[in-house]
Structure 1
Amino acid sequence: MKIKSAIIASTIATAVSLASLSAFADGDKEINTNHGDNKSESHKKGGHHKHHRGFKKVFAQLDLTDAQKTQLKDLRKQKRDGSLTRESFKSEMAGILTAEQNAKLEQIKAQRGEHKQGRKMKREQMKSLNLTAEQKTQLRDARKALKEEMRSQRKEAMTAKMKSILTAEQYAKFETFKK
């Protein structure tokens, strides 16, 4: 009986961990390469452009000058059109950045690698549980419910924050814009 309770507790803890990882990882998904007319759901929701936001997010931490931003933008354009290989892009980029910026970029890459390793380890741990199809379904449903609950709480918090900032008239006008 104790083993069964321990497995259930472990499964629930894992579900909660996976839900939080899933919510965190949503912004970290692979680039969608479907460029045809049949766009996938993530592409329609902006998934195609998530890599661009990630790029901007990383480079925002490097305190780039305007000249560096322009050079990197041109460099990315060259890579996109195929005139630069991945290796030449990296070496050109390293030449644009200062030594401190290159060091910071390497530090950011290392942190991302650690995060990916942690996700991989969680997946392996889940596989080692040898869950039944029913348990997997229950966990998936629990993760979806938790994700939806978290989304709802964020929405409620944002609504409360907006109501505290805006006047009643402004909030009413805002509500009409949403519809």
Structure 2
Amino acid sequence: MKIENTFIQDLVVIEPTVFEDERGYFFECYSKTKFEKLGIDIDFVQDNQSFSRKGTLRGLHYQNPPFAQTKLIRVLEGEIIDVAVDLRKDSPTYGKSFSILLSAENKKQLLVPQGFAHGFSVISETATVIYKCDQFYNKGFEGGIKFDDPSLNIDWGMNPEDAIVSDKDQILPFIENCNSLF
């Protein structure tokens, strides 16, 4: 297992060691011991899974303290463009976004720490996404940023006007008006 740092502090890509042979493959997608050796000491408490069709865009979501969440995202089937936006007001990369192709094929994972908004778009016919969280969901502390905020200039791998977006995500504010407490 190896870690790849991004240009945003604390936002990392994790690439597992995959063992392949004529039967298929095996890899550890999560090992508390191995993560701790990489400097990642997080107590995950919940796993979430979603299934989406091509063109679906979910996000950008976050939870405010004290229910802020660190997420470890991976794809079980299909391909997504996964996006994290830094909401930490004291960070030199505040308001910057990072995106990565996560797929069942490349088996990469994105560790999104507390203080970030997160979302993804589905670019394959379907995608199944699973993510671990270090805090339970609490509706009263949820927040979000509109996916097409022009100041973020995110490339979702599709035309945002054609995206399948929930009613809730359609009315989220731009970053300048979000209720982030980070």
Q: Which is higher, the Rg of structure 1 or of structure 2?
A: 1
TM-score of the aligned structures, taking structure 2 as reference length: 0.19
TM-score by length of 1: 0.19
Larger strand proportion of the pair: 2
